[in-house]
Chain A
Amino acid sequence: MRFMVLVPGSPESEAGEMPSTELLGAMTKYNEELVKAGVMLAGEGLHPTSKGAKVRFNGGARTVIDGPFTEAKEIVAGYWVWECASREEALEWLKRAPFDGGVEIELRQIFEADDFGEQLTPELREANERLRGQAAAKQ
């Protein structure tokens, strides 16, 4: 099973400040553990929202809203993609991450074909995967 772990932004991440040497060290050690356990498939940090933008869709209108965005806790500052055998394993790994101060880290399972269950006929399943594959190939 594949999971995405979403790390929220903070005033510091939004200000483009690097974390303390101590936290950076703890995070490096944690990442190393994930890699040495064969769990981590990918992981990236994101630039502050001041470098980002939003597009609002309304009827035919498209409005571009430049960053920064205000609600820091609704902002994603980074993510991991993990391969785990179960939701419990992913949670067990997440519990070991060096976060503190009331921050909440979100764990989400990434859709794979089998998750659609009986509703998806073999033909639909195939068509669906083909579409998603084409989208991925164009990225």
Chain B
Amino acid sequence: MTASATNRAIDAVWRIESARLIAGLTRIVRDVAVAEDLAQDALVAALEQWPESGIPHNPGAWLMAAAKRRGIDALRRRVTFEHKQELIGHELQILQQLDQPDLAARLEDVQDDVLRLIFMTCHPVLSREARVALTLRLLGGLSTPEIARAFLASEGTVAQRIVRAKRTLAEAHVPFEVPGRDELADRLSAVLEVIYLVFNEGYAATAGEHWIRPPLCADALRLGRILAALMPPEPEVHGLLALMELQASRLRARVGPRGEPVLLGDQDRARWDHLLVQRGLAALRRAEKLSGTLGPYTLQAAIAACHARARSVEETDWPRIVALYDGLAALTGSPVVELNRAVAVTMAFGPEAGLELVDSLADERALRSYHLLPSVRGDFLVRLGRLAEARDEFVHAADLCDNARERELLLSRAVACDS
């Protein structure tokens, strides 16, 4: 194997093993920052040794053993240089934990550790941005530059965000555990929110040159699939997975040959990814079977499924979509959901009814700078033949929109109203 081939293989091993490694180490040392440092040390050791020795038969166990060795070495050195009495109890504890001979045996069941780690990196004590960055870093195996690129932030900002997040978790003594029954619902919804935030940034980039960024969708999908395997009885976990599989099935139809956005109504449905559609519908069936009343992600997945099952816009079951949006609106009270509901109402019952709903949303604070409000209103006005008004709405929407590709689309719709 050439050096670069070995490095690519090490990257692959890291992608497979890093979350389990960091999770297993966190269980032992009870501190994500220390655990990640040890895991990184083990990766450095692999990069030094594997090009010579070849990739070991069980790379996960090798990395764990290397992490443990480095941890003990580092701590022992500090013990030598400093007075042992001055070593803080915390570090002494870590040393004792790492020094246990049956470490490998205790790492057999690391799947639960991965789940504990997810709940830790998505803990409400952290800001949303910090949760997203830390989850992608520790569970998605993304590097800091990769996360920075994904969220169009500088590497320094992201690195700082991650360091601060780890410190916050330590200072708040956030336990390494799956939350108990009384707080599980809230904590799980925080986890699902983080995964869906990542997905959405890939599915409809809020800023930048590209309208979609499929690698981010892939990272979120992978996290969703992992979570569904780790928490099979939770309906909303399957609901979110179904929603992401169904939305991802449209990704390649969602962008035109020159990178321009193609909206649902204009998409060539033959280009949807049918394997993902099937997976999405199967996940939705699991979610519905497990649910008492459908949760917000399952409802959104059920709406996406109406589109997935329809061969065209005309054949879509719009009245059912309106009914599902009714349920979602009652659950969330979100004006964005109301706006989507207005679109479904237009499709089911005509643009007059839809326009009335949109106008009732005009005073919503949350929608004041939301470009889709004027965009949707413009669309309804076009359907009503009120082109001059529609044009103004599209121009207004373009002003509010931060994504370059989407702005172009809105401006072209404005121009189309003139002709």
Residues of A whose CB lies within 8 Å of any CB of B are 32, 35-39, 41-42, 81, 83, 85-86, 88-89, 91-93, 113, 122-123, 125-126, 129-130, 133-134, 136-137, 139
Question: Does A92 lie within 8 Å of B257, measured CB to CB?
Answer: no
> How many interface contacts (CB-CB < 8 Å) are there between A and B?
74
Contact of B274 among A36, A38, A85, A137 (CB under 8 A): A137
A38-B225, A122-B258, A123-B257 are known contacts. Are A86 and B268 too (CB-CB below 8 A)?
A: no
Of B6-14, B348-356, B398-406, the one contacting chain A is B6-14
Give 1 or 0 for each of B207-220: 1 = CB within 8 Å of chain A CB. Answer: 00000000000100
Question: Does A88 lie within 8 Å of B252, measured CB to CB?
Answer: no
Question: Does B257 lie within 8 Å of A126, measured CB to CB?
Answer: yes
Contact of B271 among A38, A86, A133, A139 (CB under 8 A): A133
Interface centre among B225, B269, B279 (most CB of A within 10 A): B225
Question: Does A130 lie within 8 Å of B268, measured CB to CB?
Answer: yes
A36 contact set on B, CB distance < 8 A: 111, 226, 229-230
B8 contact set on A, CB distance < 8 A: 86, 88
Does B176 count as interface, using CB distance less than 8 angstroms?
no
Interface residues of B in 10-34 (CB under 8 A from A): 11-13, 15-16
B9 contact set on A, CB distance < 8 A: 88, 91-92
A113-B252, A133-B268, A133-B272 are known contacts. Are A125 and B257 too (CB-CB below 8 A)?
A: yes
A129 to B251, CA, bound (A): 13
Question: Does A86 lie within 8 Å of B229, measured CB to CB?
Answer: no
Does B270 count as interface, using CB distance less than 8 angstroms?
yes
> Across the two chains, which residue of chain B brings its CB closest to A128?
B271
Question: Does B12 lie within 8 Å of A92, measured CB to CB?
Answer: yes
A-B contact pairs, 11 of them (CB 8 A): A36-B229, A37-B16, A37-B226, A38-B224, A81-B275, A86-B15, A89-B15, A91-B12, A92-B59, A129-B271, A130-B270
B226 contact set on A, CB distance < 8 A: 36-38
Does B301 count as interface, using CB distance less than 8 angstroms?
no
